[in-house]
Chain A
């Protein structure tokens, strides 16, 4: 009779015996429970099939009816329930639905330590799942219970306490409640315990201090130097996971305190170059681990260096770029690892040209990054795209046409069609960068159909997508030749452009006006785009009178300034927009000249300079109109403007208007 051993293990048979054991009781219970436990431990598929067959309620009913004196039965029940909950969200749900929770809590106060162990392990498994219920820290008795767990001299019980925190503490208020209740201190004490206690404590410690400068300053400050010292010490621990968690805590401390307003205490956290370098080296070494620890080490390293160029330099000097370029060449890397590599490289290349050089000179690195643009995982596509964007910030390689190749451009354009908004935004930022500054190479992008999709995205309901699409168009329009300009304008069309100028989002307006500026910049005939049906100039003029954000006004004024550099017809059109003689209110020019924003005053004075050039049939009339509108006397008040640029242009404008004699007398 072949396979006898396996056939008795068939789930259906075991379930039958479990049910009858739960109903009849007796000796059979223990045996069948143990059998079930040994079937499911480590075996995800079996867990799922037993859950489906309804095994969990039977186990819970055995637990609930068991006398508290039958220790081994309690232990087997708890172990089985714990295993169902371990690593399988459906299991956690089944366990909770069957009402196991209160029974497991009861086990924690049992006199037999082994029963307590089993109960705490099962509860810990539940809290390690996202499917677990949120623990309410706002109730005083809950905090008391939590502290009682952390005070127990049992690693499973303290581990349970730590897991509850890691799972449920999310908001700043919750962090504060826990810190004020003395939880951080207890966690620090647990760092002296066993490996598992140490790791669990570090993890929940990180949860409590994450992005909370207030808690950090109060509980982890220099006056609590032992805490800080313990964390530093643990970065040298024997276990990689412990080293990683210590680095995560230190990174959180540094990031939270350096981003908070430059308080004096922040200077004392992790400022020593020695410690900073050390931390980078520890993380880099952890990156060699190709498991979860290595992946998390990459993200920690990336977040550690993210906002500080000094740290990026240290990481560069520690050969991070070479290491990552080397690592990305490895075959069949997991998605998480690729994402981590691209994110870290992206950060390093955001400021430092030497980093970009290494990436671009490393064999195949650019190919691997562009290949990852079509990766099946969204996060990898985003990370690769941002990495490409930052690498392409190298003016040297950018203007050498290094990126305007089909191999790079085609996948990036493809990402503009991506179903995920985050990918689209990353791709738009990358396009913005790639198209910015190389006259001769732009046509490839235009011919590849990129403009059509940019225009499409500029109509998006999502303002971030819209903003970045207009931004990309603006950069594409920068110093482009007339033929390309015409093609872009044909795709963009007049009406959508006027709508973008009047967009509800001021940032979009600013970019749209910048786009118009670039459109009318260059050869004089470019200005004609503004007069197509006379609409565009009117819209810009209206925004000048309506908008309040200085950046929008600056861009709008530069559009006027560019147009005013044209011939008589164009100059007159600008005059009509800016100086209305029928209007008794103060001229918009005078109002804007009085602005606090120097860049805005500069733009206005430039426009006045262009309008008052003393050649051309209408020159005299224009100067008279400007004078009547009070512009000249306003300029006279500005001859000593604090902004040098303004001061110089004011003198030019005044000089020009004087050419026709000073009518003020």
Chain B
């Protein structure tokens, strides 16, 4: 009898331990965090990686001089890459294509999808500027052969040419192509391709570190109450809610 009850009591205790969260105070937490060592050079590299990937060339140059952190690619290529990106964003697609080809002729020669999207953007710009005849000729001569080579290109081409069919293009089902977001999409595709050709990752590492931090906190929330960071901007530790 007594054994039975003691077993039941033990089980209840285990149950309680499983459901109630462990509480970690701010002091304990800060102590733990202080034990984690982070090298200064690693921090600098992360910052440099962010500046390089996002294309802040002047800042990167300054940061290189002040911190002595060497970027993993030639900073001059950032200028070139940003010039390409800017050209697409402002609708000068032909200019962008020439710049990419000067940078590395392999990029567009070995990436048919990117090449098609740039040519498509060129067509969109011609239509936007009301150069209808030129647009038609361009679609016929430059884009139609790509459509013959690839079914999905053909579908995209048909959608783009449909821009010519609507009087009120903005409110048509293909109106999104004229939107500025289409330019940004194309620009970021070119940007990523140039970065890849330079063996550089197309996304900076800092955002993924922060994503990982938020994810880890969410995992930990299920098991413990601790000072968590909710506001990434200030990165302040908030007292655990008990």
Contact = CB atoms under 8 A, between A and B. Distances in A.
A37 B105 contact: yes
B106 interface: yes
B155 interface: no
Nearest to B112: A42
Contacts of B196: 195
Contacts of A43: 115, 142, 145
B199 interface: yes
Contacts of B133: 2-3
Nearest to A34: B98
B101 A37 contact: yes
B35 interface: no
Interface string A181-197: 00000000000001110
A621 to B, nearest CB: 81
Nearest to B73: A194
A38 B137 CA distance: 18
A79 interface: yes
A86 interface: yes
A168 to B, nearest CB: 21
A195 B109 contact: no
Interface string A530-557: 0000000000000000000000000000
Contacts of A3: 133-134, 137
A79 B108 CA distance: 12
Contact of B101 (A41, A195, A196): A41
Contact of B105 (A44, A79, A87, A195): A79
Contacts of B137: 3, 6
B138 interface: yes
Nearest to A155: B199
Interface string B123-145: 00000000101100110011001
A336 to B, nearest CB: 15
Interface residues of A, number: 24
B13 interface: no
A294 interface: no
Interface in A30-48: 34, 37-38, 41-45
A5 interface: yes
A79 B101 contact: yes
Given A44-B149, A79-B105, A83-B105, A6 B199 contact: no
B219 interface: no
A194 B199 CA distance: 6
A2 B134 CA distance: 6
Nearest to A196: B199
Given A6-B137, A194-B199, A42 B145 contact: no
Contacts of B134: 2-3, 5-6
A119 interface: no
A86 B98 contact: no
Contacts of A6: 134, 137-138, 141
B6 interface: no
A5 B138 CA distance: 10
Nearest to B151: A332
A196 B196 CA distance: 9
Contact of A38 (B97, B111, B112, B141): B97
Nearest to B149: A44
A442 interface: no
Nearest to B133: A2
Nearest to B132: A2
Interface in A218-240: 238
B110 interface: yes
Given A6-B138, A44-B145, A45-B145, A82 B199 contact: no
Contacts of B106: 82, 86, 121
B118 to A, nearest CB: 8
A45 B112 CA distance: 13
Contact of A87 (B109, B142, B199, B201): B109
Nearest to A5: B134
Contacts of A194: 199
Interface in B53-107: 97-98, 101, 105-106
A42 B109 contact: yes
A40 B199 CA distance: 25
A172 to B, nearest CB: 32
A38 B111 CA distance: 15
A82 B105 contact: yes
Interface string A33-70: 01001100111110000000000000000000000000
B84 to A, nearest CB: 13
A121 B105 contact: yes
B239 to A, nearest CB: 39
Interface string B24-47: 000000000000000000000000
A136 B208 CA distance: 49
Nearest to B111: A42
Contacts of B197: 196
A83 B109 contact: yes
Nearest to B119: A42
A86 B105 CA distance: 10
B199 A42 contact: no
Contacts of A37: 101, 105
A336 B115 CA distance: 24
Interface string A150-168: 0000010000000000000
A37 B196 CA distance: 22
Contacts of B105: 37, 41, 79, 82-83, 121
Nearest to A87: B109
A332 B151 CA distance: 10
Residue among B105, B106, B133, B196 with max Cβ neighbours from chain A (10 Å): B105
A195 B110 contact: no
Nearest to B196: A195
Interface in B143-162: 145, 149, 151
5 contacts: A41-B105, A41-B109, A82-B106, A195-B199, A238-B201
Given A41-B105, A42-B111, A87-B110, 20 more contacts: A3-B137, A37-B101, A38-B97, A38-B101, A41-B108, A42-B108, A43-B142, A44-B145, A44-B149, A45-B145, A79-B101, A82-B106, A83-B109, A87-B109, A121-B105, A121-B106, A155-B199, A195-B196, A195-B199, A196-B197
The 6 closest A-B pairs by CB, nearest first: A42-B115, A194-B199, A42-B108, A2-B133, A45-B145, A195-B199
Interface of B: 97-98, 101, 105-106, 108-112, 115, 131, 133-134, 137-138, 141-142, 145, 149, 151, 196-197, 199, 201
